[in-house]
Amino acid sequence: MPLLRVDLFVIVTDSEILVDTVDVVLGSISIDEKFLGFTLFALVPNTTEFLNAISFALNGNIALRYSINFQN
């Protein structure tokens, strides 16, 4: 149980840092909030899965490509 509390604290702290950073970026660069939210929060975490799926598809391993792409 103590490990769960530590994990929760780390996640909350990281989230606060991320939100503060987004506010700074939006204040200094003229980027739309929706564009930043879509690219940063939706695409970036899945980039490695996308690249692996493309790599497996190019190497002819279509079954593995589908299992990685559709596991979420």
How confident is the prediction along the chain (72 residues), in pLDDT tens digits per residue? 677 888 888 888 887 887 788 878 888 888 888 888 777 777 777 777 777 778 877 887 766 656 655 655
Q: Which two tokens stand for residue 33?
A: 């909030």
Same domain assignment for residues 36 and 63: yes
Question: How many domains in the chain?
Answer: 2
According to the model, what pLDDT value does residue 35 have?
82
Indicate the pTM of the whole model.
Answer: 0.44
What integer pLDDT is reported at residue 62 of this predicted model? 67
Cα 62 to Cα 4, 8, 28, 65: the distances in Å are 38, 37, 43, 5
Same-domain pairing of 65 and 37: yes
- Residue span of the structural domain in which 22 resides: 1-30
Contact 68, 53 (CB under 8 A): yes
The predicted structure's pLDDT at residue 66:
61
Residues 36 and 67 in one domain: yes
CA distance 31 to 35: 7
